[in-house]
Amino acid sequence: MTNTRPNFVRNCWYVAGWDYEFTAGKPHPRTFLAEPVVFYRKGDGTLVAMADRCVHRLAPLSLGRLEGDDIRCMYHGMRFTADGKCVEIPGQDMIPSSACIQTYPVVEKGSWAWIWMGDPHLADAALLPDARGLDDPVWVLKSGQLDYAAPHELINDNLLDLSHLAYVHVASFGATPGWITQQPRTTQIERGVRVERWVESAPPLPPLPSLAAYESVDMWASYEFLIPGVFLMYTSLHPPGTAKGSNHAAPAGDVLFSNFTCQAVTPLTAGSSRYFFSWGPGSQFGGEEIAQQMIDVAMAAFLEDKLIIEAQARIIAMSPGEKIMPNAADRTVTIFQRMMERMKHPASTSS
């Protein structure tokens, strides 16, 4: 066994889960970035995360016992505070200062729990993506998640090139050729890209009475894709012809319907990933029922993605040395990949 570990972007917030996953009163084991991590809530509800590995003999703390705000390894009984500091070694008075568990900054914001697995001094809540919570007043959001037997990079690539909608998601999203013919405008932003486009002649979905009057609509889709793999998309529907009058700019006039989705990709290991997502209508356009319809459609679509991406991962694993051949639609993919690469090698950014 060598000392090499997979190379991930580290100085960023990864989604660790939904706040409702981390129930109080017990430790929750996870694997992120190929590292074992244990989460638990302190008495005041604060979520903490630390390496799921006792310093003593590397047994998982997640099989341990919560004692107040501390966690005790239930192999030989070492006890640690939520700061990772050892405060008891059974049968031994002296506690070496090196008996510390690595902790990770964690923030909960709007239903999402985020973890920072890089230099903790750089962890800055100001860098948190603006993912909305399930209780956001502007949107009615439902949530879900899926695990992939595929590297997170392939899922990022997928989300950065929505031309795949016209092939992968015809059945689920009713996606139209407009996703190919109408090129998006890509703008590089702080820690990511913004991708905006009009899709003309889109189907008037979901099947709302207010949309029934239209044979087709114009759709404005604008998303940010942020380091390390967070997708925030605003979509709105407009009367036919709006796109033509817009000169490729964001819509100004009537909105027939709007919806919002947050999606986030977190590597479990180098070859497996967890995909978190929410979706739903603007609260003035729909309630729980529409939101449930939308998340059901999204789940069906994401299973379509999972099928092709996991198959792609298997082909890549069988094909060492085979190179990809990017096309015009991949410009955004390539921009983002380069941002990720630069963040893996921070030293080279200063040169």
Q: What is the 3-state secondary structure (H, E, C) of 31-62?
A: EECCEEEEEEECCCCCEEEEECCCCCCCCCHH
Cβ closest to its own copies, residue 296 vs residue 330? 330
Nearest-CA neighbor of 20 among 28, 10, 12, 32?
28
The one among 58, 122, 125, 138 contacting its own copies by CB under 8 A: 58
State how far the Cα of 42 lies from the Cα of 82, in Å rounded to an integer. 8
Answer yes or no whether residue 233 interacts with its own copies by CB under 8 A. Answer: no
Q: How many Cα neighbours within 13 Å face the side chain of 180?
A: 11
- DSSP symbol at 349: G
Q: What are phi and psi of 238, to 5 degrees?
A: -140, 160
Answer yes or no whether residue 34 interacts with its own copies by CB under 8 A. Answer: yes
Tokens of 44: 């005041």
The region of 140-148, 235-243, 244-252, 311-319 touching its own copies under the rule CB under 8 A is 311-319
Answer yes or no whether residue 312 interacts with its own copies by CB under 8 A. Answer: yes
Least separation in angstroms between residue 83's CB and its own copies is 18
Answer yes or no whether residue 76 interacts with its own copies by CB under 8 A. Answer: yes
Answer yes or no whether residue 149 interacts with its own copies by CB under 8 A. Answer: no
Answer yes or no whether residue 97 interacts with its own copies by CB under 8 A. Answer: no
The one among 121, 215, 247, 318 contacting its own copies by CB under 8 A: 318
Inter-CA distances, 269 with 258, 285, 286, Å: 35, 39, 38
The one among 19, 52, 153, 200 contacting its own copies by CB under 8 A: 52
Answer yes or no whether residue 168 interacts with its own copies by CB under 8 A. Answer: yes
Cβ closest to its own copies, residue 9 vs residue 175? 175
Answer yes or no whether residue 103 interacts with its own copies by CB under 8 A. Answer: no
Answer yes or no whether residue 171 interacts with its own copies by CB under 8 A. Answer: no
List all residues 6 or more positions away from 307 whose beta carbon is below 8 Å from its beta carbon.
none
Q: What are phi and psi of 179, to 5 degrees?
A: -65, -20
The one among 25, 44, 98, 350 contacting its own copies by CB under 8 A: 98
The region of 165-173, 223-231, 238-246, 247-255 touching its own copies under the rule CB under 8 A is 165-173
Give the x-and-dash track for 319-348 against its own copies (CB under 8 A).
Answer: xxxx-xxxxxx-------------------
Nearest-CA neighbor of 257 among 230, 286, 291?
286
Cβ closest to its own copies, residue 65 vs residue 194? 65
Cβ closest to its own copies, residue 158 vs residue 293? 158
Nearest-CA neighbor of 111 among 274, 226, 278?
278
Please provide the distance, in angstroms rounded to a whole number, between the alpha carbons at the two ends of the chain. 34
Least separation in angstroms between residue 224's CB and its own copies is 22
Answer yes or no whether residue 308 interacts with its own copies by CB under 8 A. Answer: yes
Inter-CA distances, 308 with 155, 295, 312, 315, Å: 10, 20, 6, 10
Answer yes or no whether residue 53 interacts with its own copies by CB under 8 A. Answer: yes
Cβ closest to its own copies, residue 207 vs residue 326? 326
Tokens of 157: 């690539």
State how far the Cα of 60 lies from the Cα of 42, in Å rounded to an integer. 19
Q: Which residues bind its own copies (CB under 8 A)?
A: 1-5, 31, 34-36, 52-53, 55-60, 63, 72-78, 89-92, 96, 98-99, 157, 161, 163-164, 166-168, 180-181, 183, 307-308, 311-312, 314-322, 324-329
